[in-house]
Amino acid sequence: MLIAQIIRDKGAVVHTLAANATLEDAARDLYEKRVGALVVMDTEGAIIGVFSERDLVREVARRGAKALADTVANAMSREVFTAHLEETIDDCLGRMTDRRVRHLPVVDEVRLVGIVSIGDLVKHRIALAEAESAAMQAYIAAQ
């Protein structure tokens, strides 16, 4: 299954924020939007980072509550790994495992068109395995 199908199924909504937002703003967005990561964009709309729950916890653990007044730019993951619409679930799962990330912004050329989490990919991978199993059982039963 391709990433394009997952984006069609789950929708293309991507929650973003500016690099000058505070960690407190980002924490509120993560909570209110019920997501694990936000894509950080510059003023021209280019992806410049990803801010995740993991980034928030790291900064608060390191610096305490005063970290919440700092900007996302100082805490976000700057090395952004992306997915492309024509890639497979397995391609992206491998990248996430190798790079130890849980979210991949999905781009079409350079335009942000969605985001996938490791949970999204595992859910679809399991659904594929169950469908293959059901088809095999039906085939065997028909013999």
**pLDDT (tens digit per residue) in 97-120:** 999 999 999 999 889 999 999 999
CA distance 6 to 119: 12
Give the pLDDT score at 131.
82
Domain coverage including residue 70: 3-142
pTM of the model: 0.86
pLDDT band at 63 (very low <50, low <70, confident <90, very high): very high
> At 85, which CATH number?
3.10.580.10
pLDDT at 62: 96
Please state the domain count of the chain.
1
Neighbour count for residue 96 (Cβ, 10 Å): 20
